[in-house]
Amino acid sequence: MTDTEFETVNFCCEELEESVSSDPEASLIEHDSGLILLNLGHREEEGESGVVLATIRFCPFCGTEIQTDEDIEAALGAVEIVE
């Protein structure tokens, strides 16, 4: 696949494309909001458990900026955050 083909599917490199999954247990998750999130693991507090996710701005494989702060803020505006 060429770099141009990756750009049309919003992936900067083959490694990122192969690593991102919609599975909530995966390390790199493509959320319904369009964000690519890093799964930091499970957390349990006061009898409730959940997954801790972090936004990432740069591809962990090639270093390309894949999400700007504005992209993240816009996408998070549509996501319900449970605390």
Neighbouring CB atoms inside 10 A of 14's CB total 14
Q: Which residue has the tokens 């890093």?
A: 38
- Is the distance from CB of 14 to CB of 44 less than 8 angstroms? no
pLDDT tens for the chain, 83 residues long, are: 344 433 334 689 999 999 999 888 899 999 888 889 999 999 998 888 888 999 999 999 999 999 999 988 888 876 666 66
Of 48, 81, 59, 82, which is closest to residue 11 (Cα–Cα)?
Answer: 59
